[in-house]
Structure 1
Amino acid sequence: MRSDKHTKKKKKWIKYLIITFSILFIGLAAYLFTVYSSLNAALSSMQADSDRTLSPKRTDEIAFSKQEPFSVLLLGVDEREGDKGRSDTMIVLTVNPKVNSVKMLSIPRDTYTEIIGHGTTDKINHAYAFGGVDMSLDTVENFLDIPIDYFVQINMEGFRDIVDAVGGVTVENDLDFSYEGFNFPVGTLNLNGEEALAYSRMRKEDPRGDFGRQLRQRQVIEGVINEGASVSSLWNFQNIFEALGNNVKTNITFSEMVDVQKNYREATNSVEQISFTKGQGQTIGGVWYLVIPDEEVIAVQDELKTHLDLNE
């Protein structure tokens, strides 16, 4: 009798375990399907048309499986109704998994340079207004003398949604200022989307001018990268994917994103911010430009070429 009771009890527990695991499996399957559906919808919205399939400075496509260094141009665009807009934020990322590092370079929007494909010398951010993403890519490549392999275009008005979707960002502020109704004291700040947008836009109250603004922009972008890669963001994937799908365009494909995540994950642990610091303002033809000395441009070019293993 006792043996029969024990057998029935054992069968009962096995039944409960099977039911429990079945519920967990169904729940996990439903969760993964929802993640996949949301991701697929976001990626479809993010894919941008571009005539460029390979940088003119490359002879072969990047082999992510071999962990080859690559570069990305981030374009922060303020688009207005009836106006194509200008890329007021231009940041170049070079990624090298062999040394586990990312270099993040801000290019001042007023930089005086040749606009490739337009036949003029102008402010570098005008390249987007003249010829969109492709002309921006060609112009930045010519200016830095490195291949730009990919681009990510961000609608700055919608950038606040991306910051909110990852739960806000943390930055280290080195200048006490107020802007657009927000106060930003010196120290560690936790910013929501509206605050982060205002923080990254202020320029005139900063004695460093556009250089100070570039620093804050890089801080916010690095904060988004760090928060987006955190485990806590997994539970908010729908808002993150929706915000990205609505505000980001890129030529990086889904399979390439998977390869980057697989082979380059450790590189994002070390992000070095670099910038041009010796530019001088000059009025040319009645227009104010930032003229960066050739020696500084060459020094930055060499640093990025070394990071991309192009000097070997």
Structure 2
Amino acid sequence: MKRRTRKMLIWTGSSVLAILLIGGGFVWYLYHSVHQVADKIYEKPNKPVYVSKDPDIKNDIVPVFDNLDAFNVLVMGVDQRENDRGRSDAMIVLTVNPSKHSILMFNIPRDTRTEIVGHGTVDKINHAYAFGGVDMAIQTVENFLDYPIDYYMKVNMEGFERLIDQVGGVTVNNPYSFNMQGHEFAKGQLSLNGKEALLYSRMRYDDPRGDLGRNARQREILTEGMKSSLSLSNIVKVQGLLNEVGDSVKSNITFEEMKTFITDYRPNIDKIDSVEIKGKGETIDGIWYYIIPDAEKNRIHQVIKDHLQAGSASAPLTAAK
């Protein structure tokens, strides 16, 4: 073998080894960073296991991730202030089913009138968090849906702004122009930074659909944010996102579960569907509430059940009259 060829082979081999080492170091760095973030955000709810009235639902079964079992998540956007727990400004339920390659997403309208479990009152559902924190909020949602919640994520709304900025903003399709706190949102496709995304997701008084319109914008922002975060490749942006998540999010998802979601579940999800909970506004004792009829609650319960169970026929996604 000629000396020049031998040198080329040695150089090539060394380069490949260097690339592998750098790549391995990058993977280890991400692994270590995610582990630290997962430990920082983790908190375990102190609440009893919910037992559904539906005999077909196995309430005490924890999802088995080796089998890629379906599960559901309650995402709470919390408007938290200094020396004040705040209220859940947004409540979004995600049902994740890899066997159907989909996530089903829906809002629970914040003014929904329901029993506040553990407080002995009937009130707006977003007050449950103000009265009793995460535990009371989850128990109230479980009772309202008659379905156990497997996981939750609590996101500080101020941190939400920074999270959107970390993923490079989001692109939305605005159906009509409106003004929110001095910021003009034109009709059509818009690229929004964190502050703009938060304003866009909160507007409801100028929306002809009211709370339902705001709920749709919240789902749009969440969907686009998830897509953007999963496509990040810049290590500086990834680290910034991880730092922001650690400061702004609390969850009962462990590090091992988080790894499984990313490595095993994510490749099996290719669509996000949505459904609306519909009711009507009503003033009771001088307070405006959103009233959900029993027929609509039963329909939503069945929609969740059908989506989480592989191979079953889906319930209609149209709302009950």
**TM-score, with structure 1 as normaliser:** 0.92
Residue 311 of structure 1: CA displacement? Answer: 11
The unaligned stretches of length 5 or more in structure 2 are 53-58, 313-321
Please name the residue that 2:315 is paired with. none
> What is the aligned partner in structure 1 of residue 68 from structure 2?
67
Cα distance in 2, alignment partners of residues 232 and 26 from structure 1: 18
For residues 86 and 172 of structure 1, what CA distance do their matches in structure 2 show?
Answer: 28
Out of 12, 37, 42, the residue aligned to residue 32 of structure 2 is: 37
Question: 2:220 aligns to what?
Answer: 219
SS at match of 2:269: helix
Aligned partner of 2:297 in structure 1 is 297
Instruction: Identify the residue that residue 272 of structure 2 maps to in structure 1.
Output: 271
Q: Distance in 2 between matches of 1:24 and 1:98?
A: 36
**What secondary structure, in the 3-state scheme, does the structure 2 residue paired with 1:206 have?**
coil
Q: Residue 227 of structure 1 contacts residue 233 of structure 1 at CA under 8 Å; is this kept in 2? A: no
1:47-126, aligned counterparts within 5 Å?
47-52=42-47, 55-57=50-52, 58-126=59-127
Give 2:55's aligned residue.
none
Measured against aligned partners, the alpha-carbon deviations of 1:154-194 in whole angstroms (never above 9, x if no partner) come to 00111011111111111111121121332211212111111
Of stretches 6-15 and 74-83 in structure 1, the one that deviates more from structure 2 is 6-15
Structure 1: distance between partners of 2:226 and 2:211: 22
Residues in 2 aligned to 1:46 and 1:264: alpha-carbon distance in whole angstroms: 21
Bigger Cα Rg:
1
Query: For each residue in 1:68-123, what CA deviation from the matched residue of structure 2 results, as whole angstroms up to 9, or x when unmatched?
Result: 21100000000001211000100011111111111111011110000111111110
Equivalent residues of 1:49, 1:251 under 8 A apart:
yes
Moved more, 32-41 or 86-95: 32-41
The percentage of counterpart residues that share the same residue type is 43
Report 1:97-176 matches (<5 A): 97-176=98-177
Could you tell me which runs of 5 or more consecutive residues in structure 1 were left unpaired when the two chains were aligned.
1-5
Aligned length: 306
Query: Residue 21 of structure 1: CA displacement?
Result: 2.6
Across the aligned residues of Structure 1 and Structure 2, the Cα RMSD in angstroms comes to: 2.0
Structure 1 residues 222 and 233: CA distance shift in structure 2, 3 A: farther
The CA deviation string for residues 120-177 of structure 1, in whole angstroms up to 9 with x for no partner, is 1110001101111111111111101111100000001110111111111111111211
Partner deviation per Cα, 1:198-244 (whole Å, 9 max, x = no partner) = 11111212122111111110000000111111154666210110111
Once the two structures are overlaid, the 10-residue window that deviates more, 34-43 or 139-148, is: 34-43
- Tell me the secondary structure at the aligned position of residue 275 of structure 1: coil
Counterpart of 2:23 in structure 1 is 28
1:7 aligns with 2:2: yes
1:180 corresponding residue in structure 2 = 181
- Deviation for aligned residue 1:56: 4.3
- Write the distance in 1 (CA, Å) between the matches of 2:143 and 2:158: 29
